[in-house]
Amino acid sequence: MSSYRIAVVGAGYVGLVSACGFAELGHEVVCVEKDEDKLAMLKEGVSPIYEPGLEELLKEKLACGSLRFTHDLGESAAWAQVIFICVGTPPREDGSADLSQVEEVARRIAGVIDEYKLIVEKSTVPVKTAQWIKRTIELYGGKGKSYDVASNPEFLREGNALNDFFNPDRIVIGVESDRAEKILRDIYAKIDAPILVTDINTAEIIKHASNSFLAMKISFINMVADLCEAVGADVKRVAKGMGLDRRIGEAFLGAGIGYGGSCFPKDLKAFIKIAEEHHVDFSLLKEVQKINELRIERFLKKIKDVMWVLKDKEIAIWGLSFKPDTDDIREAPSLRLIPLLLSEGVSLRLYDPKAINNFKRVFPETDRVRYFTDPYSAVEGAHALVILTEWEEFKRADLARVKELLLTPLIFDGRNIFEPEEVQKFGLEYYPVGRGRSCVE
């Protein structure tokens, strides 16, 4: 197997996981990060994000010398044979992706190309970005130099990122030359997964279309959940029944309070926008967004319907991160529900296994927003428990203890983590999402 000198630009989720992953696959890796605080942590082997197994791998690769960190993009790009662009592409006001960081990296690379280099975009970008990278390189000194641009979208999920990196469902490679294809195939040679080789525009669309489709599945099942609630059916069983059809599949048919995170909301916006720019009306995805936005209000209405007056009540919340196994709170449902509860006059008792520090930066501790270091203290004396993230720890909760600690025995479950009959056995009133009228009587 050939080993390559790889520069990964940007130590965010995708960049850091890929950098550690490439080092583990036997390549020599430098990871470029411009945030000095983050860089200092990384050099010490401390991961700025919580991701199962990541810090251990980071420490191991630093120690054996196959991975290093620097702020020096020019030196790294000059040294590397392959450069992966993994910088952020946040949404702009109008929903389109802000590609200024990608452009900046392309400009800097343009100036250091001497012998052949492969420049690969791994950040999630709108279709045609590679063409712009190429044009930027040409404009800023790369004209006549030997290089290729390629697209190699990343499909990792937060909380499961390393596993997704080493065991992906597929590797997508968008290339314009056999040389670029060969290098990318070599880089991933140790990974046992189907490789799909396409042109670059197609690879870019695969990424946006995949995330949009998954978000669409979630909004679809959430509407089915509403119907289930109205007629007394069980959305979990509906999802099971649908999912057994191999053309549909059970994954991402988990009803609840909707999707969040740094990817789906942003990628949907960007996909709708890029379609619009090419005169394609993707209003289907606008509906997907609308359904997702309304989940929070619907959930709040359910709480109010059951609790009547919310003013001066205490509510415990389990789960602040947008999903389990991560400390990431970007676009988390908790960020939207909590201000609504506060404006109703509720006092909150918050617990999350990993995300409390991040959350405190947005909602500092006050007498109405209190944080607890274990789930049971959060529940003590509360009028209700609200579950917003399906952490394993919550699934295994001692419900008898929860019943004893709650002032009034109400559980609102935005993630459907329990079976209604199980919870009701403990004398708790249980309000999941889309699981029949029997549960809300």
Among 76, 124, 219, 289, binds ligand UGA (CB under 6 A): 124
CB of 267 to ligand UGA, least distance (A): 6
Q: Minimum distance from CB of 47 to ligand UGA (Å)? A: 16
Question: Taking the complex as a whole, how short is the minimal distance between the CB of residue 243 and ligand UGA, in angstroms?
Answer: 10
Residue nearest to ligand UGA (CB): 254
Residues 6+ apart with CB under 8 A from 65: none
Pick out residues in 245-274 that bind ligand UGA (CB under 6 A). 252-254, 256, 258-261, 263-264
Active site residue 263: yes
Number of residues in contact with ligand UGA under rule CB under 6 A: 21
Contact call for residue 353 and ligand UGA (CB under 6 A):
no
Span 211-230, contacts to ligand UGA by CB under 6 A: 211, 214, 218
CB 382 within 8 A of CB 316: yes
Residue among 206, 153, 159, 202 nearest 392 (CA): 159
Taking alpha carbons only, the member of 403, 393, 438, 405 closest to residue 419 is: 438
Name the packing angle between helices 333-343 and 283-307 (round to 10°).
40
In the complex with ligand UGA, the residue whose CB is nearer, 73 or 433, is 433
| Packed helices 264-277 and 283-307: angle between N→C axes, nearest 10 degrees | 150
Pick the closer one to ligand UGA by CB: 3 or 210.
Answer: 210
Using CB under 6 A, which of 28, 158, 204, 352 touches ligand UGA?
158
Residue closer to ligand UGA, measured from CB, 147 or 271: 271
Token representation of residue 269: 């916006």
Of 14 and 382, which CB lies nearer to ligand UGA in the complex structure?
A: 14
Q: Which is nearer to ligand UGA, 255 or 346 (CB)?
A: 255
Question: What residue type is assigned to position 179 of the chain?
Answer: R
Q: How far apart are CA 82 and CA 121, in angstroms?
A: 11
SS3 253: coil
| SS3 per-residue string spanning 292-352 | HHHHHHHHHHHHHHHHCCCCCCEEEEECCCCCCCCCCCCCCHHHHHHHHHHHCCCEEEEEC
Strands (E), 86-185: 117-121, 147-151, 171-174
Asked if residue 384 binds ligand UGA (CB under 6 A), the reply is no
Ranges within 86-115 binding ligand UGA (CB under 6 A): none
The answer to the question of residue 157 lying near ligand UGA (CB under 6 A) is yes
SS3 state of residue 70? strand
Q: Which of residues 301-330 bind ligand UGA (CB under 6 A)?
A: 322-323
Of residues 187 and 218, the one with the C-beta less far from ligand UGA: 218
Nearest to 389 by CA among 250, 234, 256: 256
Q: In angstroms, what is the minimal distance from the CB of 260 to ligand UGA? A: 4
Contacts of 97 (CB under 8 A, 6+ apart): 89, 90, 91, 124, 125, 126, 266, 270, 273
Report, as residue numbers or ranges, the catalytic residues.
Answer: 263
Contacting residues toward ligand UGA, per CB under 6 A: 124, 154-158, 211, 214, 218, 252-254, 256, 258-261, 263-264, 322-323
